Amino acid sequence: MERILDFIAKETDGKNYKSYKYCFEAVEIPKLEYEDKKGIQVKNKGETDRSLNTTKSVKDLADKISQTGKPLFKYFLDGSRRTYKIDDIAYGKRLYPVIAGQIGVAICERVDEHSFKAVNFKNPLVISLPENANAQTTVGNDELFFNNLIQKLNSQEILKNQNLKFSKILPYKNTLLTENDKYEDRGVARIQDEMIALEQKVVFELVKARKLNDNSFLIKDGSLEYMKSGESKELSEIKANYDCVVGVSKAFNPEALSNDVKDISRRIAELKLYHRTPAFMYQTERIPDVKFAVWYLRIRETLSPFDGVLKIEKILVREIQEEEGLDSDEIDLISANIINERNPVCYGKDNRWEKHLYPVYLTESFIKSQYLSDIHFINLF
């Protein structure tokens, strides 16, 4: 039975080296990665209450909602991926890594207080190769070549016998490396981009099914800054789809707004329990046509000054929001509902427990439970 890597090398006129295979997430030294992107510029205040200059408690509103109201958030989105170095392959005079990945993107729905289920789940298997793996090297035929390659790959007995398929081959740039650049990083970035595209897709599908409205919001785990600039019509549609979506980041850079907001990191660190900061309006260089409202909320008291604090984001969809900011009552409502989502905690199950919202934790746990084991996945190759 021909192995996957041997098949790829034969079909792309390359030479594979049977290199050591490993999962990146399992061997890299742990490091803190912020979800904030570079090039943030604060424009002005991000909410309608211009008089709010200090932090504000939303505990009373949270208690009121908990006792008499319905939760604002009904859907919870998380995306995850595992990436693997599975070989080195030579094209011409250079060696390139072959990167493979498992992607998991899910939306879970809380039907009622006793029922929580997945309503949309995508878990494709992907491979990332250098662009010059296209043995035909005809300008403009990369997509056709790699689509044909993936079809041939999925017909191999090793995959058919296990009822598995790879969804895409994601080519990465094979140009010469610059300082601190790695081909491995390029391959992993392509898999990350594919995960982000799937996150956007499941949101669009939820909107198309008319599931999101003023009484039924979605929490997206992580930043909303992942959108890309595009045609104005496309951008308008994307923004409209995120009208009822709130991004909640556990890993944020407390200095991200420091060039524009005085003492922002200290203000975040000194947040009292159940208090929020004023909202700020900002734009990023990556998507200059989109404005965001961002604020910080403390959901738990901890020893570390930034533990227990979440960064909350919402895309400003309408013109009046881009001019005046998000309605302060809506910010209070979102914040109060997020406070109510913090319990029960996942203490002892996850070292980020002090920042976790429990439904998000459940969604993340569901995704990870669907992965092939690292040993199983690596041995496919």
Query: Does the structure show a pLDDT above 90 at 40?
Result: no
State residue 33's pLDDT score: 57
Three-class DSSP category at 309: strand
Query: Does the structure show a pLDDT above 90 at 109?
Result: yes
- Give the DSSP letter string of 142-201: HHHHHHHHHHHHHTSHHHHTTT--EEEE--B--SPP-TT--HHHHHHHHHHHHHHHHHHH
Distance in angstroms (rounded) separating the CA atoms of residues 157 and 344: 46
How much is the average pLDDT of 119-132?
A: 96
Average pLDDT, the chain: 88
Distance in angstroms (rounded) separating the CA atoms of residues 41 and 45: 12
Query: Does the structure show a pLDDT above 50 at 357?
Result: yes
State residue 141's pLDDT score: 74
Give the H or E element holding residue 41.
strand 40-45
Residue with tokens 């595992």: 82
**pTM of the prediction?**
0.91
